[in-house]
């Protein structure tokens, strides 16, 4: 089976949903699937240098091939003529294309090329069909959908959603689609995590004897920081003791990031907060090891890869009911779920902080659920089954 994975960019700047293509491709390769990723060298929209990678040539890594193409000067749109030319020439040599992102020109045109070349394709919307996301630049997106995406949705062999809730709420523009619900994966810790994380606490001057509340995600208005900061301030006023770690950045919207930092620096939270910026590698692992509670009160989140990573690290989570794996968190008792409301969030955080034994129990439940349901091996098997079903259906036709 020869599979194309097409994604506008895999730069860390664009977050976990794009990065997951690497994890999926590696897991598929371990199961014997021949995978080629097509992507661009885009590395942000506001002056960052492009990725330092060879262009237009396959690179072998982790069992699959990846080909980077030059991104057009208007990098916000992550467009690449060279990528589309390559696809037009080589599409007939593959069995199936898995296209990640809608309302992105390179993905939209890639889907059109696949139809013209009679290559079956799956679309993964990355949350762009959520009504909350569609409200942003609504008129432009309605026009874009009428010109391109409605036809792409209609012509897709399937639409890949990462949660049942994402599939339930997503707009289809009047098109009937075949839906696949396959979650994203996380890499389980390679060795047992010993709770406490004393080294990273010492590094940042965080007391060893207070609960560490971790936010590790993009600093973006949709993530609910306007709910979280007042909730934490209210708990401080009640006399609850904790330390808050804000781990993340937003190169796409640095003004909003600075606004949040200033809000913290001018509030009572300043002496109870550590702002780390973007974290990866050992520091990311160390923070996950040190955390007692993970919080993400997003206004909408088609999956919530950061939540799944926290669960795999044995951290109980406090999330909003707009994070679309909220039902899984409820059912597995992996944490607490509430509304996008300051008082509700304050109450859930209070309950979690005042009950260390319950945090521990829910953390164990979280890890058990994540390792069973969000491991890349399990997700690769689900994905291969979906690929085989689609290809079998085409053979019947």
Distance, in Å, from the CA atom of 271 to the CA atom of 310, rounded to the nearest integer, reads: 25
User: Do 141 and 282 sit in the same domain of this protein?
Assistant: no
Closest CA relative to residue 205, chosen from 301, 158, 274: 274
User: Do 222 and 369 sit in the same domain of this protein?
Assistant: yes
Residue 193 belongs to some domain of the structure:
no
Residue 190 belongs to some domain of the structure:
no
User: Do 228 and 273 sit in the same domain of this protein?
Assistant: yes
Q: What is the CATH number for 59? A: 3.40.50.2000
| Count of other CB atoms within 10 angstroms of residue 206 | 19
| Count of other CB atoms within 10 angstroms of residue 385 | 12
User: Do 146 and 174 sit in the same domain of this protein?
Assistant: yes
Task: Report residue 48's pLDDT band, with 50, 70 and 90 as the boundaries.
Answer: confident
Pairing type for strands 121-124 and 96-100 reads: parallel
Q: Dump pLDDT digits (tens) for 7-35.
A: 999 987 777 767 789 999 999 999 999 99
User: Do 257 and 162 sit in the same domain of this protein?
Assistant: no
- 10 Å CB burial of residue 171 (0-12, 13-18, 19+) is middle
Q: Dump pLDDT digits (tens) for 182-220.
A: 999 988 765 544 455 788 999 999 999 999 999 999 999
Task: Report residue 75's pLDDT band, with 50, 70 and 90 as the boundaries.
Answer: low
Paired residues of 110 in beta bridges: none
User: Do 250 and 153 sit in the same domain of this protein?
Assistant: no
User: Do 210 and 63 sit in the same domain of this protein?
Assistant: no
User: Do 307 and 259 sit in the same domain of this protein?
Assistant: yes
- H or E element: which one contains 328? helix 326-332
- For the chain, what is the mean pLDDT? 92
User: Do 269 and 291 sit in the same domain of this protein?
Assistant: yes
Tell me what the mean pLDDT of segment 165-189 comes to: 90
Residue 241 belongs to some domain of the structure:
yes
User: Do 361 and 382 sit in the same domain of this protein?
Assistant: no
Does the pLDDT value for residue 77 go beyond 90? Answer: no
Distance, in Å, from the CA atom of 357 to the CA atom of 194, rounded to the nearest integer, reads: 16
Q: Which phi and psi angles does 191 have, rounded to 5°?
A: -140, 160
Tell me what the mean pLDDT of segment 280-285 comes to: 88
User: Do 42 and 65 sit in the same domain of this protein?
Assistant: yes
Helices (H), 135-280: 138-144, 150-155, 164-169, 198-204, 225-238, 254-265
pLDDT of residue 19: 77
- In contact, 36 and 68? CB cutoff 8 Å: no
Range of the domain at 244: 198-373
Residue 303 belongs to some domain of the structure:
yes
- In contact, 80 and 72? CB cutoff 8 Å: yes
Distance, in Å, from the CA atom of 41 to the CA atom of 350, rounded to the nearest integer, reads: 44
The number of folded domains in the chain is 2
Q: Radius of gyration of the chain from Cα atoms?
A: 21
> Which of the two residues, 189 and 225, has the higher pLDDT score?
225
Closest CA relative to residue 97, chosen from 392, 397, 391, 396: 391
User: Do 246 and 350 sit in the same domain of this protein?
Assistant: yes
- In contact, 125 and 158? CB cutoff 8 Å: no
Half-sphere exposure of 6 (CA within 13 A, CB side): 33
Tell me what the mean pLDDT of segment 337-364 comes to: 98
Residue 192 belongs to some domain of the structure:
no
Residue 100 belongs to some domain of the structure:
yes
pLDDT of residue 78: 84
Residue 191 belongs to some domain of the structure:
no
What DSSP designation does 250 have?
-
What is the layout of strands, in order, in the sheet containing 317-320? 273-275, 243-247, 212-216, 293-296, 317-320, 335-338
Residue 266 belongs to some domain of the structure:
yes
């Amino acid at each position: 089976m020869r599979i194309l994975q097409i994604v506008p960019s895999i730069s860390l700047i664009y977050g976990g949903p794009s990065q997951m293509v690497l994890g999926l491709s590696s897991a598929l390769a371990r199961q014997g699937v021949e995978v080629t990723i097509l992507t661009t060298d885009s590395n942000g929209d506001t002056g960052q240098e492009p990725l330092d990678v060879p262009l237009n040539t396959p690179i072998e890594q982790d069992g699959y091939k990846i080909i980077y193409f030059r991104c057009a000067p208007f990098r916000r749109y992550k467009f690449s003529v060279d990528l589309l030319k390559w696809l037009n020439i080589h599409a007939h040599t593959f069995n199936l294309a898995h296209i990640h992102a809608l309302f992105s020109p390179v993905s939209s045109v890639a889907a059109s090329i696949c139809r013209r070349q009679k290559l079956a394709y799956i679309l993964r919307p990355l949350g762009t069909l959520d009504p909350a996301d569609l409200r942003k630049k609504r008129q432009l997106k309605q026009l874009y959908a009428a010109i391109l995406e409605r036809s792409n949705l209609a012509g897709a062999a399937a639409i890949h959603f990462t949660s049942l809730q994402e599939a339930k709420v997503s707009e289809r523009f009047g098109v009937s689609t075949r839906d696949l619900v396959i979650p994203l994966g996380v890499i389980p810790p390679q060795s047992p995590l010993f709770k406490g994380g004393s080294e990273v606490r010492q590094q940042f001057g965080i007391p060893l004897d207070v609960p560490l509340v971790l936010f590790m995600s993009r600093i973006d208005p949709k993530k609910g920081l306007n709910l979280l900061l007042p909730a934490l301030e209210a708990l401080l006023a009640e006399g609850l003791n904790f330390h808050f770690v804000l781990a993340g950045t937003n190169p796409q919207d640095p003004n909003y990031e600075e606004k949040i930092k200033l809000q913290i620096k001018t509030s009572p939270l300043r002496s109870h907060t550590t702002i780390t910026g973007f974290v990866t590698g050992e520091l990311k692992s160390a923070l996950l090891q040190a955390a007692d509670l993970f919080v993400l009160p997003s206004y909408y989140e088609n999956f919530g890869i950061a939540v799944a990573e926290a669960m795999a690290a044995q951290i109980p989570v406090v999330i909003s009911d707009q994070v679309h794996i909220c039902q899984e968190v409820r059912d597995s008792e992996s944490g607490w779920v509430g509304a996008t409301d300051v008082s509700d969030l304050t109450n859930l955080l209070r309950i979690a902080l005042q009950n260390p034994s319950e945090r521990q129990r829910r953390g164990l439940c979280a890890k058990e659920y994540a390792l069973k349901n969000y491991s890349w091996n399990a997700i690769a098997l689900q994905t291969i089954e979906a690929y085989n079903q689609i290809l079998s259906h085409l053979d019947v036709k």
